[in-house]
Amino acid sequence: MRIICISDTHGQHHSLQLPQGDILIHAGDISTLGKAEEIEDFLTWYSQLPHPYKLFIGGNHDFYLEKEPELFELMVPKNCIYLNDSMVEVEGIKIWGSPVTPFYHNWAFNRYPGDDIRKHWKLISEDTDIVVTHGPPAGILDMTVREIAVGDEDLRKKITYIRPKYHIFGHIHEQYGQIEQEGTTYINASYLDIRYRPSHPPVVIEYEKSVTGSR
């Protein structure tokens, strides 16, 4: 399976050059201001892409998804899969996604440290193959331009415990890249740089399923 990873397009999705693949994953911040018209434009574009499976989550800029969840759900095209603290199984690959990030200036899907955010990570099944969150785990591709690490510690503990094959996220534009630790490949797939300029290509995963299962 060929998986294409993107994140943090912030309304600039039309400039993306996407390679072919089986599964397309967007790790949030599909908009800039989180307005309904921005979301609708993204969904129209996303639904027309040729990838057989199109998954996405929200991000801290995507206010409409959190403020009007029922109306938003009606907007999602049938050929797109929206993950919100939920899992989908695609061709035997279990993918779980969440838009939640640590609290910062009251953005969308913000949660306070402790039980407020930890309850979301408790929902991640131990047999998950790919975890998609908008924000990074603590200490992994989470350093801002001001040299402040902003990843979530409880998310790091959960990922370290269940050890999925991949953890895909974005949020910190300046930390685009990949790193492998203890059997998990962490991918920051941010499309835009710190100045919101299109700068980073989509990340391509050649996913090999094992004989005994997806992992």
List pLDDT tens digits, range 166-179: 999 999 999 999 99
DSSP string, the chain: -EEEEEB--TT-GGG--PPP-SEEEE-S---SS--HHHHHHHHHHHHTS--SEEEE---TT-HHHHHSHHHHHHHS-TTEEE-SSEEEEETTEEEEEE--EE-STT-TTEE-TTHHHHHHHTTS-TT-SEEEESSPBTTSS-B-TTS-B--BHHHHHHHHHH--SEEEE-S-GGG-EEEEETTEEEEE-B-B-TTS-B--PPEEEE----SSS--
27, part of any domain: yes
The whole-number pLDDT of residue 209 equals 74
111, part of any domain: yes
141, part of any domain: yes
pLDDT tens digits, the chain, 215 residues: what are they? 999 999 999 999 999 999 999 999 999 999 999 999 999 999 999 999 999 999 999 999 999 999 999 999 999 999 999 999 999 999 999 999 999 999 988 999 999 999 999 999 999 999 999 999 999 999 999 999 999 999 999 999 999 999 999 999 999 999 999 999 999 999 999 999 999 999 999 999 999 876 545 56
211, part of any domain: no
23, part of any domain: yes
147, part of any domain: yes
Query: Residue 150 sits in a domain of what CATH number?
Result: 3.60.21.10
The whole-number pLDDT of residue 140 equals 98
The whole-number pLDDT of residue 34 equals 97
Domain coverage including residue 145 = 2-206
163, part of any domain: yes
State the total domains in the chain: 1
